[in-house]
Amino acid sequence: MSFRALCDRPKNTNVRISLPAVCFVWQIAMIILFGVFIRYDEESDTHWIEHRKKENISSDIENDFYFRYPSFQDVHVMIFVGFGFLMTFLKRYSFGAVGFNFLIAAFGLQWALLMQGWFHSLDYTDGKIKIGVESLINADFCVAGCLIAYGAVLGKVSPVQLMVLTLFGITLFAVEEYIILSLIHARDAGGSMVIHTFGGYYGLSISWMLYRPNLDQSSNLQGSVYHSDVFAMIGTLFLWMFWPSFNSAITDHGDGQHRAAINTYLALASTVLTTVAISSLFQKHGKLDMVHIQNSTLAGGVAVGTAAEFMLMPYGSLIVGFCCGIISTLGYIYLTPFMEKHLKIQDTCGIHNLHAMPGVIGGIVGAITAAAASESVYGKEGLINTFDFEGAFKNMVPTKQGGHQAAGLCVAICFGIGGGIIVGCILRLPIWGDPADDNCFNDEPYWELPEDEESAPPILHYNNHMANKDV
């Protein structure tokens, strides 16, 4: 008997947890928890003026808000517009793609502020979590991991299941992020390991646990149509344009942020050309496949994330993008069908090719780049600043840092796979109201839908506005 069979659910039950109940109860719980724990940090509190005088800060422009808010806005657009529209390619699941993306992102960011706050910004003097603009960026990053996982189960789960997936996903994310960034002391500015590797394998493991052998009953809805692919391309372009902000949003002010944006920009550009070449080369008659253009063109941004603030060098960024364009596109052509047929993983959006594999590549690139760092390239102060060789880690050397980077990648994979299997078991319970096999990839069970064709009065052959009706 397989492990998945051990988690099999009973088929007959009348108990269902409703979406309104979950939303109301959760929001009330958030109001209570925020009232108990969440407060403004010193840069967003009215005591900022006193803090300015105490720290001899000359101007309000030095408030972190003015450094971080433009990046926050870009990341915010990626979460709600980029991820949402990227998943609208299914012909009858556009409402679910954008709407449920909206729901779980708004649901998750509140829980993320609490979970990440308890690990990173808890003030032990008063027991309160102090939040500012950087907290908002990190909450969006946390939500991104769950939206990646959503891509693997797109169209096959109920909104309540998505909220459960998000609740546990953010909890796991906060723990693995703390272990990787604080305990192991790995650097991961763009989240190749913490966000993409974790989110990718978390979603794939859940999809494996929720495998539907009769999903072919919904095969007529599993494809795209012309306009749905155009909408998905809107998501691609938003993500592609704002990815430099994503990878540089929480890096150090100055050269680190500047370098992260440049490296991401170049990796993305390289990935586009490589994806187009591979897609045309492996398709019949040399034509392009829109699936590849929508997804694989973003893989370079994922893979350069960990090393974005390192001295990867511009040509190194192009190499990373080049390799990811090849691997991601070939993944859609060969690996996704293999995984569904032989591994029983139904990956709706192909997150293994866009997030999981490029995330692993990003972790490897980060480990190699860190291990190869030298004082001659970074400078003494630059080496300390880039890798945060201070405090308990002041005696760290680059080769050892490379090992820590590799350890961080292993933790992300373990949390993603292990957490996904556990959460998948929970989602197999019959109380969540998931759609039937013959009604997946369909908005109809959860949304009020407009008529496909608007009724229009017949157009008369002769128009009253015509001067000469005999013409």
CATH of the domain at 274: 1.10.3430.10
Q: Give the model's pLDDT for residue 188.
A: 95
Q: Give the model's pLDDT for residue 15.
A: 67
Letter for the amino acid at 334? Y
Q: Give the model's pLDDT for residue 58.
A: 85
Q: Is residue 28 part of a domain?
A: no
pLDDT in tens, the chain (471 residues): 566 665 665 555 566 888 999 999 999 999 999 999 999 999 999 989 988 888 888 888 889 999 999 999 999 999 999 999 999 999 999 999 999 999 999 999 999 999 999 999 899 999 999 999 999 999 999 999 999 999 999 999 999 999 999 999 999 999 999 999 999 999 999 999 999 999 999 999 999 999 999 998 988 898 899 999 999 999 999 999 999 999 999 998 889 999 999 999 999 999 999 999 999 999 888 999 999 999 999 999 999 999 999 999 999 999 999 999 999 999 999 999 999 999 999 999 999 999 999 999 999 999 999 999 999 999 999 999 999 999 889 889 999 999 999 999 999 999 999 999 999 999 999 898 889 999 899 999 999 998 764 444 554 444 444 444 443
The domain total for the chain is: 1
Q: Which domain holds residue 301?
A: 66-436
Report the predicted TM-score, pTM, of the whole model to 2 decimal places.
Answer: 0.92
Q: Is residue 55 part of a domain?
A: no
Q: Is residue 462 part of a domain?
A: no
Q: Is residue 26 part of a domain?
A: no
Q: Is residue 17 part of a domain?
A: no
Q: Give the model's pLDDT for residue 297.
A: 97
Q: Is residue 446 part of a domain?
A: no
Q: Is residue 24 part of a domain?
A: no
Q: Is residue 164 part of a domain?
A: yes
